Amino acid sequence: MKIAIYSRGLEENQHKEIDALLHELEKYKVEPVFYQDFFNKFYSAVDLKTKYSTFNSSEDLDDTIDCMISLGGDGTLLDTVTFVRDKGIPILGINYGRLGFLANIGKGELQTAVETLVNGTYVIDKRTLIHLDANIPLFGEVPYALNEFSLLKKDSTSMIKIHTYLNGEFLNTYWADGLIVATPTGSTGYSLSCNGPVVFPHSGSFVITPVAPHNLNIRPIVVPDDTVISFEVEGRTDGFLCTLDSRREIVTKEIQLAVRKEAFSVNLIRLNENNFLQTLRNKLSWGLDVRN
């Protein structure tokens, strides 16, 4: 079995966790393949007893890779989507960050997680991606996102006007700091912080959420994910921020933008005892009296 391992980097006091991971993988005779930049950050601090393979790009991940482990928070797991692309490699997120909606397996569950991978007793959650179409090349070979697409004003400039259309029919003009189109997976991310609704992962929908709208009667709206959502942007400045998850591009008001459901999905690994409702209760403290 061969497992790719990705991380942006761990704190010095977390190097022992790498030791523990290597020990578990060695116990089950699993071959790890480390992201090169990550490997460079920890190899001198960890007692390595053998040589390990590394990868630098999506092209280095072939069909011999059985899965990818993400060590970090949700942002780290979002990075792995740009490596996996349409290869179908399942992703397991181990949480070294804070909230961890996507990377919801605690580092204390490392041993159980590796055993589950080896035995194949996990559940695959297929998650929808959102694809960006534009009249100029944007975001290279990965014009898609797992969480959300957004259009935002730059820095402290005045609010922008975003004319929004559903399958070519006018929906609304948003006077706001920006607009988010979130997948069900992304409904618990940036969209939620802007008062968007929580949507179940397999609901087949997108959430359109304004960021600080000027009109107080404007509210988030849920639309079917077979809808093509297009935009025209106006503002007092020439440039606007266009983002896919944590990646961004500067665009001008002349650009034509539209988003739709991506043709392929991403496979997230879930341990049998974990489900979306449990994640909501644990991460948002639902059902708990937090007054004391």
Active centre residues (catalytic):
74
DSSP annotation of 85: T
- Helix (H, G, I), strand (E, B), or coil: what is residue 284? helix
Q: Measure CA of the first residue to CA of the last residue in the chain; give whole Å.
A: 48
Per-residue b or e along 238-267, where b marks 16 or more CB atoms closer than 10 Å to that residue's CB: eebbbbbbebebebeeebebbbbbbebebb
Q: Which stretch of DSSP H or E encloses residue 76?
A: helix 74-84
Report d(CA 7, CA 9) in Å as an integer: 5
DSSP annotation of 158: P
Report d(CA 60, CA 68) in Å as an integer: 13
Report d(CA 230, CA 131) in Å as an integer: 12
Kind of pairing between the strands at 247-252 and 239-244: antiparallel
Instruction: For residue 281, count other CB atoms closer than 10 A to its CB.
Output: 12
Report d(CA 80, CA 97) in Å as an integer: 15
